[in-house]
């Protein structure tokens, strides 16, 4: 398994800064590590670059609408999510899907203190180090909220770290990091082959991470506001 230093060295070779067998100076490695972490941070905003989803359980408190998730979160101590993919709550062994809304939709709710046993909407404010989720109506029972969130990339602390990403990511990182580093070395010429392989390897990862679309129905909302509808029993 490669180290981060080996990936950095490869990227520098791809743009002609290093020859085979050469190693970069310490400041070049430090600059490349900064560029690598910044690139991965940007990739977190693209769902198709997210190789895994994480499940988080949030214990709800009756009468409390907002909850925090983060390294110092009062409710859940975990890495602050990049984005919430889906959310549901469970009552009496029945799961109720919660609709994700944005700040404009949440601000448009006239009476934000309305309460219900089953929240219908969730507004996510993805700040760092702690993010906040706000439910509406305000839950008035003690149940659990289940979130599926995008798993953030962990930043590499040092060039000696092991490169621990899934198959296919090493190629994509090496070629795309090469393009990121090239402007810092204006004397070298960027090969169009490197540019093309950067695009190809990135597209390959996105194809793997592409999820199939499953058709859904709005019958649940038509028959009882997200309370679930059994098309067989009619209840």
The CATH number for 177's domain is 1.10.3230.20
Q: Are residues 28 and 64 in the same domain?
A: no
Q: Which of 106, 122, 150 is the endpoint of a domain?
A: 150
Is 10 in the same domain as 58?
Answer: no
Residue 96 sits in the same domain as residue 167:
no
Say if residue 63 is in the same domain as residue 123.
Answer: yes
State whether 83 and 35 are in the same domain: no
Nearest to 136 by CA among 104, 172, 111, 161: 111
Residue 101 lies in a domain: yes
Q: CB count, 10 Å around CB of 40?
A: 20
Q: Is the dihedral of CA 150, 63, 114, 125 positive or negative?
A: negative
| Residue 222 counted as domain residue | no
User: How many domains in the chain?
Assistant: 2
Q: Let me know whether 138 and 73 are in one domain.
A: yes
The verdict on 99 and 122 lying in the same domain is yes
Quote the domain boundaries for residue 117: 53-150
| Burial readout 68-96 (b: 16 or more C-beta within 10 A, e: otherwise) | bbbeebebbeebbbbebbebbbeeeeeeb
In a domain, 216, yes or no: no
Based on the fold, state whether residues 132 and 159 are members of the same structural domain: no
Residue among 119, 109, 68, 65 at smallest CA distance from 89: 119
Phi, psi of 85 (to 5 degrees): -85, -45
Instruction: Count Cβ neighbours within 10 Å for each residue of 122-138 and write b for 16 or more, e otherwise.
Output: bbbebeeebbbbbbbbb
Q: Kindly state whether residue 220 falls inside one of the protein's structural domains.
A: no
Q: Alpha-carbon distance 171 to 4, whole Å?
A: 12
Is 125 found in the same domain as 11?
no
pTM for the complete prediction?
0.67
pLDDT of residue 62: 96
Is 228 part of a structural domain of the chain?
no
| Cα 39 off chain centre by | 14
Whether residues 171 and 98 share a domain: the answer is no
> Are 142 and 49 within 8 A, CB to CB?
no
Per-residue pLDDT of the chain (235 residues; tens, 9 = 90+): 799 999 999 999 999 999 999 999 999 999 999 999 999 988 887 877 776 788 999 999 999 999 999 888 889 988 888 889 899 999 999 999 999 999 999 999 999 999 999 999 999 998 888 999 999 999 999 999 999 998 777 889 999 999 988 888 899 999 999 999 999 998 899 999 999 999 999 999 888 777 654 444 444 444 444 455 444 444 4
Query: Does residue 171 sit in the same domain as residue 105?
Result: no
Question: Residue 231: inside a domain, yes or no?
Answer: no
Same domain membership, residue 103 and residue 79 = yes
Residue with tokens 């984005």: 83
pLDDT of residue 116: 96
Last residue of a domain, one of 102, 122, 150: 150
């Amino acid at each position: 398994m490669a180290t981060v230093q080996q990936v950095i060295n490869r990227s520098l070779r791809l743009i002609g800064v290093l020859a085979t067998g050469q190693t970069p100076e310490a400041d070049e490695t430090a600059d490349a590590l900064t560029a690598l972490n910044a690139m991965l941070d940007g990739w977190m905003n693209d769902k198709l670059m997210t190789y895994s989803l994480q499940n988080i359980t949030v214990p709800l408190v009756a009468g409390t609408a907002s909850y925090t998730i983060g390294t110092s979160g009062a409710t859940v101590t975990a890495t602050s999510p990049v984005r919430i993919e889906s959310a549901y709550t469970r009552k009496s062994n029945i799961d109720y899907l919660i609709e994700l809304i944005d700040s404009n939709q949440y601000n448009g709710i006239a009476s934000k203190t309305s309460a219900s046993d089953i929240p219908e909407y969730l507004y996510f404010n993805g700040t760092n180090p702690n993010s906040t989720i706000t439910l509406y109506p305000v839950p008035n029972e003690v149940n659990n909220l289940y979130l599926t969130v995008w798993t953030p990339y962990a930043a590499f602390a040092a060039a000696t770290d092991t490169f621990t990403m899934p198959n296919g990511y090493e190629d994509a990182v090496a070629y795309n990091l090469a393009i990121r580093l090239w402007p810092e070395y204006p004397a070298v010429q960027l090969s169009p082959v490197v540019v093309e392989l950067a695009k190809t390897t990135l597209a390959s990862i996105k194809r793997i991470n592409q999820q199939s679309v499953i058709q859904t129905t709005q019958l649940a909302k038509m028959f009882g506001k997200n309370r679930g509808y059994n098309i067989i029993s009619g209840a």
